[in-house]
Amino acid sequence: MSKDFILPDIGEGIVECEIVEWLVAEGDAVKEDQPICDVMTDKALVQIPAVHDGVISKLYYAKGDIAKVHAPLFAMDVDGEAPTQSEEAQAPAATEAPSETGEHLEDFILPDIGEGIVECEIVEWLVSEGDEVVEDQAVCDVMTDKALVQIPAKYTGKVKKLYYQKGDIAAVHSPLFQMSIAGQSAEPDVSSAVVKAQTNAVTKSAEKSAPASSATKQLNKKAVASPAVRRKARELDVDLTQVPGSGKNGRIYKQDIEDFLNETPSQETQQQAAPKAAEPAATVTAVSGGSRVEPIKGIKAAMAKQMVASVSTIPHFTFCDEIDLTKLIAMRSELKEQYKQQGVKLTMMPFFIKALSLAIKQFPVLNSQVNDDCSELTYFDDHNIGMAVDSKIGLLVPNIKSCQSKSIVDVANEVTRLTEAARDGRVSPDDLKGGTISISNIGAIGGTIATPIINKPEVAIVALGKLQHLPRFDAQGNVISAAIMQVSWSGDHRVIDGGTIARFNNLWKSYLEDPAKMMMAMS
């Protein structure tokens, strides 16, 4: 069966790319994961692989052409597949649809949404069958075993069919939903008609929703918006928590931001929202002896497997200590406002990460990985330091790449970017791969001592406890108030012994307790 390969999202904000080189020709037999072509975006050169075994039946572009994201790139006859009776029966209907109704029915093919991802769970449909949608409007949220991903519409039109229910598992490269695109036909020479039809669809949709939106817009404390909308809000310096959303569950669209900037929300709207928030919850009759079963899926399932593999194969040992952060806190307080004016959010985490990287230079075994049978140890030049983030979809550990070559300001910017992405559950797969050592800031929630589980195949992890102001003795024997943080290390006892981690911790601690020493080590 001939199947189109849909060019997936190959980078944030990338909508097209140039065909640099075809690595195959029409008629060639290819294997799964075999490179098909090189494409150039405005950010990088990307190689596109085959996702099935088969024979290339058509290349839709020539070398040097500009290919569109979410459009067919090439077609191939997939080995072992043949058209089903339903597909053969649907083909004439789909062909006749444009001529009879002036509408073109098109399936949205679920694209590659991460390396190695072959399926995902439908978390929430943000539209219903029959709804009018505009290009780039969010259609649904899906959950992979790595992140929460939002799927946008690529055309303006009407949703005809949703192929899955909430909670179902959708397969990559299969139809996710079907749209009716007004004014589009099978002929390729009707681009002007498509533009006109799309414009009319947007106008009608806006006219239809205008009176209702003012009454149904919802203001949420936790802004619900896509990454593109959040980016626009940052560019316009708009606080999304103050923007009423016109979408389902108060979801915010770009138009909502523009409306918010054009006119301040009326006092009447705010007064209407207040009583709703203050309404008491419906009385629920208590029922004893009940239970419910929830499947463990997505991020939680992946974390469960990872933790079991780590505990069952790595002999953990824990080392605890306390660090006096009084001087570091004072230095950060002096610099915080200065860097805030430059758009840099200077928290304590960048200092912990940079000090860790400096200490690794003298103890490279902390930045290594051991193979499964413990016969080889691989040392890494790059310090890719991970941060465990408690996101709304579960535990994520994105990592900052090459910390050894970054300044504290560079690290701070990466901490902010990754933390925001992780809390929204939208970290890219590249940010989750390649970590070499991890930090868990459990103290941000509470607690002082922990026994963290190593993020296999790494060999060490440290948990930061909460900051406490405790009485301590100074050099003269006087009792003073010191900013104390407890830290808990877990190490892989196959390659790290207690003395090594104690000496490593002492060096890391010395950088944090004496910031001047850390600055000198960076020079």
Per-residue pLDDT in tens (0 to 9) along the chain, 523 residues? 678 888 887 765 677 888 888 999 999 999 988 889 988 776 567 888 888 889 999 999 999 888 888 888 999 888 876 544 434 444 333 333 444 455 678 889 888 776 667 788 888 899 999 899 988 888 998 887 767 788 888 888 899 999 999 888 888 888 999 998 865 543 333 233 333 333 333 333 334 344 434 445 666 655 666 656 776 777 787 887 788 887 766 778 778 888 888 764 444 444 444 444 444 444 545 567 889 888 887 777 778 888 999 999 999 999 999 999 999 999 999 999 999 999 999 999 999 999 999 999 999 999 999 998 999 999 999 999 999 988 877 788 999 999 999 999 999 999 999 998 888 777 888 898 899 999 999 998 889 999 999 999 999 999 999 999 999 999 999 999 999 999 999 999 999 999 999 999 999 999 999 999 999 998 7
Cβ atoms 256, 245 nearer than 8 A: yes
C-alpha distances (whole Å) from 426 to each of 232, 337, 396, 419 are 17, 29, 10, 10
Structure tokens at 235: 């560019």
Q: What is the model's pLDDT at position 94?
A: 38
Structure tokens at 213: 């939106």
Structure tokens at 110: 């679920």
Cβ atoms 482, 295 nearer than 8 A: no
Q: How far apart are CA 373 and CA 398, in angstroms?
A: 27
Q: How far apart are CA 78 and CA 81, in angstroms?
A: 6
In the DSSP assignment, the letter for residue 245 is B
Cis peptide before 111 (omega within 30 of 0): no
For the question of residue 383 being annotated catalytic, the response is no
Q: How far apart are CA 62 and CA 53, in angstroms?
A: 22
For the question of residue 493 being annotated catalytic, the response is yes
Structure tokens at 133: 């949608």
Cβ atoms 490, 318 nearer than 8 A: yes
Say if strands 72-78 and 169-171 run parallel, antiparallel, or are unpaired: unpaired
Global confidence as pTM: 0.55
Which among 4, 53, 493, 514 is annotated as catalytic?
493
Which among 33, 381, 430, 497 is annotated as catalytic?
497
Residue count of the chain:
523
> Cβ contacts of residue 335 below 8 Å, gap of 6+?
346
Q: What is the model's pLDDT at position 231?
A: 67
Q: What is the model's pLDDT at position 11?
A: 67
